[in-house]
Amino acid sequence: MGKTYAYARVSAKDQNLQRQLSAFNAFGVDPRRIFCDKKSGKDFEREQYKKLISKLKKGDLLVIKSIDRLGRNYGKIIEEWKKITDKIGADVLVLDMPLLDTRTKSNTLVGKFVSDIVLQVLSFAAQNERENIRERQAEGIKAAKNKGVRFGRPSFIYSEEFLSVANAYREKRVKLSAALQTLGLKRDNFYYHLKKLKQFNG
């Protein structure tokens, strides 16, 4: 029987990994087999991820919380997924999306077909959200400059995850309680940064 590993990632050094680690603990992953990076998901040049891949063997299982924790580049996610499942021969389970569980791939052709489609859709969504965030930031900076606003580098660099959650909250796609839990922030702190972000974006 293969070993079970887990991989967690956040984009910035000041972000909290606890939500992902708690999910792995509940699943029963040995803490010694959990690998964590605090780095952007734009590519797979990450120290702990590389170390994890070097240990994965055929028959092992890799558990991740959500597909965007693996990465945010559509093409690279697909490429890395294929390397893990086809080249190495390990399985992958995405806790937030049970359909993405390659342990079922040998059972039915339909199961593998559905899994492949879900993977591609979610990978595309992860990259699309990242590009939308970058575009909104650029538009905000341009609008501020057009208004004659002068500003330097913000004292707080907002992570991709914060920007994504903040945008979802503003558009009423997530509730305040869910946003606070995801980011590990208190309500007053969250509102403070929402206001700062709005000022920064013009």
CB atoms within 10 A of CB 79: 12
**Residue 107: what pLDDT?**
52
* pLDDT at 17 exceeding the cut of 70: yes
pLDDT tens per residue, range 97-106: 887 888 875 5
Q: Identify whether 123 is a catalytic site residue.
A: no
E strand or H helix at 125: helix 109-146
Does residue 59 register a pLDDT over 90?
yes
The number of beta carbons lying within 10 Å of the beta carbon of residue 152 is 5
Mean pLDDT confidence for 144-153: 57
Q: What would you report as the CA-atom Rg of the chain, rounded to the nearest whole angstrom? A: 19
Provide the pLDDT confidence category of residue 9 given band limits of 50, 70 and 90: very high
Asked whether residue 169 carries a pLDDT value surpassing 70, the answer given is yes
Is the distance from CB of 6 to CB of 35 less than 8 angstroms? yes
Among 39, 40, 90, 29, CA closest to 65: 29
pLDDT given at position 126:
58
pLDDT value at 171 more than 80: yes
Query: Which is higher by pLDDT, 130 or 92?
Result: 92
* Residue 13 token pair: 């050094």
Q: What is the mean pLDDT of residues 156-166?
A: 76
pLDDT confidence of residue 197:
76
Single-letter residue type at 185: L
Q: Which residue has the tokens 């077909």?
A: 113
pLDDT score at 150: 52
Q: Residue range 79-100: average pLDDT? A: 87
Return mean pLDDT, the chain: 80
Q: What is the pLDDT of residue 152?
A: 53
Q: Is 95 or 13 the better-scoring residue by pLDDT?
A: 95
Position 111 scores a pLDDT of 47
Structure token pair of residue 106: 């040998």
Percent of the chain with pLDDT over 90: 29
For residue 103, what is the DSSP state?
G
Q: Are strands 4-10 and 91-94 parallel, antiparallel or unpaired?
A: unpaired
Q: What does the pLDDT read at residue 119?
A: 65
Active-site residue among 11, 40, 115, 159? 11
Name the pTM for this structure: 0.58
Q: 3-class DSSP state for residue 35?
A: strand
Q: Which residues pair with 6 in a beta bridge?
A: 34, 63
